[in-house]
Structure 1
Amino acid sequence: MKTCSFACKSLTALSTITAFLVACGDTNETTNIVEGGSLDLVADLDSLPECTTDNEGAYVWIKSENELRVCSEEEWAIVGSGGTCYTEPLADSSGMKLMCNGDSVGVVLNGKDGSDGKNGANGKDLKDTAAADSEAVATSLDSITGYSQKGPFLKGTPVSVRGLENGRTLTQSNITYEGKIGSDDGEFKLRGGMLKSQYVSLTATGFYRNEVTGKNSESQITLNALTDLTTHTSANLNLLTHLEYDRVYHLVKNMGKRFASAKKQAQKEIFAAFHIDSKDFKSSEDLNIAGTSEADAALLAVSIMMQRDGSVSQLSDFITGFAANLEKDGTWDDESMRKVIADWAMNADLDGRLSDFRANVKSWKLSDSVPAFEKFVTLFWQTEFKLDSCAKANDGVVVAKGVPNNDDDKDRLICDAGAWRLA
């Protein structure tokens, strides 16, 4: 039995590989991979391809460094450190089984197809390749923390983590661990055991604090999220994680997207529906309505606009319809609902209600400050109504408010001292 040390994140989340080409022992000893997949191999650091949004989530084994790296936020990050793996011959001598911390993470064949019956023979004539066959590594859920927020879910709300079979189908496994939110700021900490892969879905169903009214909701709502434990030991549930859920499934299962790339694409599409550029935003499960970043502010703005003055039932119907509309093509083309949201956002903005919403969130004392969400609310309704920026050049100009194909809207807006208001 030969051992080969490589970079891995212990059993908690090695990577998304299940089989890869690895060189250890004799210099000519290599192995070829079974099945196509998503792990590549390069000779050294200089051979790494550029890490971009196009290959987000890609894994590369670097032979010279004996380490695994993942493309994350346009940087090649090292996946863990110091783990030990070893190989065991297959019973039919056609190859080897790769074991990490006592668990099998894949099978590699000899030579080109394993037909020569000798481990690692004739590898010198093969082109270096590497792949993953199912993107699943047995993972221990030591703990996962986060916040469940529409506004914050209330203390006692049940939260569950369900394991997924792998990162290619996202099929739910029969392994579920449950916990509860421990305080009225929506925070939870959940401990579990072994999972079949590092991919999980999270679900919370409960009452929440309403940003618009400042009060607790009159009924419950359910939020979902998807995450990869390789990159996240903390994951929030929010409207964005919920809205992207079905879209990510579609992109992964039907379009062949990598998990990380699918999540990034879905997030971009959701924010684009509200005219928000999310290029430099963190992952959806990293966002927090009480955070300080532009992404946190955008999340809070979307959360407020979707809530409006509606009931929980109306909110649920809206987000269900939005997610269904987005699922197949990544666009929100419900023009009538866009107008409803834009009208509400405009009136709330011009009536000074955005400061009330800010006061509501501030009163919950989730953090020292409330992110600057107001500009994203303003951006949405002004873009929907095709308004130019209000500046000195058009001061005093009166325009009709409306969206395409909407001749019934008689409201007029005037550019007054750098801001649009009803004429």
Structure 2
Amino acid sequence: MKTTSFIACIFVLFILSFSSCNDEVNTEIITKEKLSGFIQKGPFLNGTSILISELNPNLYQTGKLFSSQIMDNEGTYELTNLQLSSPYVQLKADGFYFNEVTGETSKSQITLFALADISNTSTMNVNVLTTLEKGRVEKLVAGRLSFSKAKRQAMQEILAIFNMKKGDMQRSELLDINKPGDDNAILLAISSILQGFRSEAELSELLANISADISPDGKLDNEDLRSSLISQAKYLNNVTIRENMDNRYHEIGGTVQIPEFEKYITQFIAISNPN
């Protein structure tokens, strides 16, 4: 009897070992010759550090990391020859940025995040929308929603906070505040509304608080946060923001293609503060 049990145990261990080895053999290596994009609040400054973490399908970090720096004052980064076992990644950027509301560079650093499936793309931008949606996307994926559906749902929920709706909105990591188009205009409008006249510390706190609030159900339940958005947005000067952005991109030698963001700020104020 003991001999039979011993043989059975050996057989089970053999099967498990074979299965484990087989999984390793079947692990597909994804090679990205290049992954590049822009880090933007306003554009981040040269020298900003970035860290890319590989994620598994449940959006947990696998331990594989890639680090780099922004290479110019447009917020450009580029990594080459990435070897990944999963197409899901998180990008974290820490640095100084150009404040489009004041027309000055920030006095302190802020941190922005992005989650993306880079299976079929070599572009991954980082901005306030990618940052706000991060916790909500993680929550939805944990609830068994696919990554792509989680991204779409989180985007629509965030747009609703700012009295905006656009069913065919591009993925957040493809948006660019210095390119034409309504999707990019929405990004710049929301970026400016969030900035308001806040310090870097206040902006970081606001981003973190909104992200935490919407993570469970996709709704901004904290009325103080909602009020703080409109209380500063109504004093924004759209003409000055455009001039600041135009001047900045001219100054750093970039092509100026600022989208028509003004109507979205005006819409947010009109609906949020009808009186």
Q: Give the secondary structure class of the aligned counterpart of 2:138.
A: helix
Residue 307 and residue 224 in structure 1: after superposition, are their counterparts in 2 closer, same or farther (change >3 A)? Answer: same
1:315-334 matches, cutoff 5 A = 315-334=203-222
Q: Deviations over 1:295-325 (max 9, x none)?
A: 1001001100101111000000100000001
Check if 1:241 corresponds to 2:241: no
Tell me what 2:199 maps to: 311
- Give the distance between the partners of 1:231 and 1:277, measured in 2 at CA: 26
Q: 1:192 to 1:204 in 2, by over 3 A?
A: farther
State how many pairs are aligned: 254
How far has the Cα of 1:259 moved from its partner? Answer: 0.5
**3-state secondary structure, aligned to 1:191:** strand
Per the alignment, residue 82 of structure 1 pairs with none
CA shift digits 1:165-201 (9 cap, x unpaired) = 2x2x111011111111110000100124322211111
Residue 163 of structure 1 corresponds to which residue in structure 2? 54
Task: State the secondary structure of the residue aligned to 2:104.
Answer: coil
Query: How far apart, CA to CA, are the structure 1 residues paired with 2:224 and 2:93?
Result: 30
State the distance in 2 between where 1:192 and 1:223 align. 24
Offset, 1:332:
1.1
- For 1:288 and 1:368, locate their aligned partners in 2 and report how far apart those are by CA, in whole Å: 12
Q: 1:224 and 1:190 mapped to 2: Cα distance?
A: 17
- How much has 1:342 moved relative to structure 2? 1.4
2:83 alignment partner in structure 1: 194
Q: Which 5+ residue runs of structure 2 have no aligned equivalent?
A: 1-13
How is 1:9-28 mapped onto 2 (pairs within 5 angstroms)?
A: none
Aligned: 1:184 with 2:73: yes
2:26 corresponding residue in structure 1: 104
Kindly provide the amino acid, as one letter, of the partner of residue 139 in structure 1: I
1:150 corresponds to which residue? 41
Identity among equivalent positions (%) equals 34
Give 3-state SS (helix, strand or coil) of 2:105's partner.
coil
1:154-303 to 2 correspondences below 5 Å: 154-165=45-56, 167=57, 169-253=58-142, 255-303=143-191
1:192-214 deviation per Cα after TM superposition (whole angstroms, max 9, x unaligned): 43222111111110000001111
Deviation for aligned residue 1:337:
2.5
Unaligned runs of 5+ in 1: 1-90, 106-136, 388-400, 402-423
d(CA) in 1 for partners of 2:192, 2:82: 37
- Residue 291 of structure 1 contacts residue 367 of structure 1 at CA under 8 Å; is this kept in 2? no
The answer (yes or no) to whether the contact 1:173–1:196 under 8 Å persists in 2 is no
Q: CA RMSD in A?
A: 2.0
Q: What is the rounded CA distance, in whole Å, between the counterparts of 2:140 and 2:104 in structure 1?
A: 37
Residues in 2 aligned to 1:176 and 1:192: alpha-carbon distance in whole angstroms: 13
- Equivalent position to 1:343, from 231, 242, 247: 231
* TM-score of the superposed pair, with normalisation by structure 2: 0.87
Alpha-carbon distance in structure 2 between the residues aligned to 1:193 and 1:304: 34
Q: Residue type matched to 1:239 in 2?
A: V
Higher relative contact order (CA 8 A, sep 6+): 2
2:97–2:109 contact (8 Å) kept in structure 1 = yes
CA deviation string 1:11-30 (max 9, x = no partner): xxxxxxxxxxxxxxxxxxxx
Q: CA deviation at 1:334?
A: 2.1
Q: Which amino acid aligns with 2:54?
A: G
* 1:103 to partner: Cα distance: 5.4
**1:35-71: per-residue Cα shift (whole Å, max 9, x none)?**
xxxxxxxxxxxxxxxxxxxxxxxxxxxxxxxxxxxxx
Q: What secondary structure, in the 3-state scheme, does the structure 1 residue paired with 2:50 have?
A: strand
Aligned partners of 1:103 and 1:138 also within 8 Å: no
Tell me, in whole angstroms, the C-alpha distance in 1 between the residues paired with 2:263 and 2:222.
23
The residue identity in structure 2 corresponding to 1:233 is S
Q: Output the CA distance in 2 between the equivalents of 1:103 and 1:293.
A: 45
Give 1:339 shift: 2.1
Tell me what 1:356 maps to: 240
